[in-house]
Homo-oligomer: A and B are copies of this chain.
Amino acid sequence: MRDVAVIGIGGTKFGSFPEKSLLDLGMEACAKAIKDAHVKPSDIQLAYAGNLAQWEWGQGLLIGHLVLRELGITKIPILRVENGCATASCAFREAWYRVATGECDIALAFGVEQMTVVDSDKMLRIFTGRQFPEREGDMGLSAPGLFAMMAKRHMEEYGTTREQLAMIAVKNRRFGALNPEAQLTHAVSLDEVLNSRMICDPLTLFQCCPRGDGAAAVVLASADIARQYTSKPVTVAASVHVTGSYPDDTSYTYLDADVRGAQKAYEMASLGPDDIDLAEVHDCFSTAELVHYEDLGFCKKGEGGQFIESGQSDMGGKVVVNPSGGLLSKGHIIGATGISQIIEIIRQLRGEAGKRQVEGARVALQHNGGGFIHTDTGSSLIHIFKT
């Protein structure tokens, strides 16, 4: 396979945009990415669209085709992919693979979701897992429940504290306040996080990501032509997609797919966790980021609490985690999340991240999880990028 570079990025602001359509959002992101890549729409040879549930949201079908049509791109293969919360990363990975294997030289990958137009009851019905009463659903294992249990177990096994968990939200919201595309753009104190409404003990409201509307897009090109379009191509050093399994042991403090996925990604990139300057990881809840520190090898198993408390995931630390503000600031705009993470990474590796720039960043990791992540319906999508 040949090297592939990201040559263009474009995202909408994440937030609540009831006046816009899914198509508006997708178009905005793609048009920005195409402009940023200095390609013409007709240069795009293939596209993948990520969207979780446009029909469930009542927004019609064929969103990929519709976005391309509005951009004047016709006659090329376009396919919608879906893999739960990792949907956008899959759109990226499929496009990457097609360029890497030479089917095309320039491809577009985008993700879009509009969640605020759906009423809360419907949203809850979808995300509480009651679709699978025979499995997780009837045990109350909704997403907050799963990550709250995981937090409790981590506290029990390793002495992790409520404060350490809350510090993740404080860090990410501080970063989010520096990101004009984030949804929540005001920093919060440790007290504010700890005293915000209890959702599922020990997770308070500010430790749970909001939903929202938005889109994110990237243009990929084979590395050998990338410099025709940009002076700052960023190369994809690894792309990994694995699905999980039920844990072989009784521990509930790690995600099997992430541990295996990270090993595979480091091997593919011929790099290790010590080489990573910054990471965008799937912080749907504070617990998630904490266990990602460990599963991705940034610290040892059980030391996630100390890792955040000692500032190792903050500016100046070992690996700056979620400098975009993460899902806790941006919101988890499901179909768009993975590519939104990649956009932040490209900005950082280009040195264009403004006030939240990680100085000297050369290598970065993106992690996006999907499905019922503790089980064999959970997926881990991991990409490593380098300048």
- Which A residues are closer than 8 A to B by beta carbons? 52-53, 55-56, 59-62, 65-66, 68-69, 74-84, 90, 94, 97-98, 101, 103, 126, 131-132, 241-245, 257, 260, 371-372, 375-379
Chain B residues lying within 8 Å of A80, measured Cβ to Cβ, are: 81-83
A116 to B209, CA, bound (A): 37
19 contacts between A and B (CB under 8 A): A53-B55, A55-B55, A55-B56, A61-B84, A62-B83, A65-B243, A66-B377, A68-B243, A69-B375, A74-B244, A75-B244, A77-B242, A78-B83, A79-B81, A79-B83, A79-B94, A81-B81, A97-B98, A101-B101
Chain B residues lying within 8 Å of A103, measured Cβ to Cβ, are: 97
Chain B residues lying within 8 Å of A132, measured Cβ to Cβ, are: 60, 66
Chain B residues lying within 8 Å of A69, measured Cβ to Cβ, are: 375-377
Chain B residues lying within 8 Å of A81, measured Cβ to Cβ, are: 79-82
A173 to chain B, nearest CB (A): 29
Q: Are B74 and A243 in contact (CB-based, < 8 A)?
A: yes
A71 to chain B, nearest CB (A): 11
Chain B residues lying within 8 Å of A52, measured Cβ to Cβ, are: 61
Q: Are A62 and B245 in contact (CB-based, < 8 A)?
A: no
Q: Are A75 and B245 in contact (CB-based, < 8 A)?
A: yes
Q: Are B245 and A74 in contact (CB-based, < 8 A)?
A: yes
Chain B residues lying within 8 Å of A257, measured Cβ to Cβ, are: 75
Q: Are A372 and B62 in contact (CB-based, < 8 A)?
A: yes
A81 to B90, CA, bound (A): 10
Chain B residues lying within 8 Å of A83, measured Cβ to Cβ, are: 62, 78-80
Select A376's contact among B61, B68, B79, B94, beta carbons within 8 Å.
B68
A376 to B62, CA, bound (A): 11
A378 to B65, CA, bound (A): 8
A131 to B90, CA, bound (A): 26
Select A126's contact among B55, B97, B131, B376, beta carbons within 8 Å.
B55
Name the residue of chain B whose CB is nearest to the CB of A102. Answer: B101
Chain B residues lying within 8 Å of A377, measured Cβ to Cβ, are: 62, 65-66, 69
Q: Are B55 and A260 in contact (CB-based, < 8 A)?
A: no
A76 to B257, CA, bound (A): 10
A260 to B90, CA, bound (A): 28
Given A55-B56, A55-B126, A126-B55, A62-B84 contact (CB < 8 Å) = yes
Chain B residues lying within 8 Å of A77, measured Cβ to Cβ, are: 241-243, 379
Select A242's contact among B75, B241, B244, beta carbons within 8 Å.
B75
A370 to B251, CA, bound (A): 46
Name the residue of chain B whose CB is nearest to the CB of A245. Answer: B74
Name the residue of chain B whose CB is nearest to the CB of A381. Answer: B77
Q: Are B61 and A131 in contact (CB-based, < 8 A)?
A: yes
A96 to chain B, nearest CB (A): 12
A75 to B244, CA, bound (A): 5
Chain B residues lying within 8 Å of A56, measured Cβ to Cβ, are: 55-56
Q: Are B131 and A60 in contact (CB-based, < 8 A)?
A: yes
Name the residue of chain B whose CB is nearest to the CB of A130. Answer: B60
A117 to chain B, nearest CB (A): 14
With A69-B377, A76-B243, A79-B83 given, name 15 new contacts (CB 8 A): A62-B83, A62-B371, A62-B377, A65-B371, A65-B379, A66-B377, A74-B243, A75-B260, A77-B243, A77-B379, A79-B82, A79-B90, A79-B241, A80-B83, A97-B98
Chain B residues lying within 8 Å of A376, measured Cβ to Cβ, are: 65, 68-69, 74-75
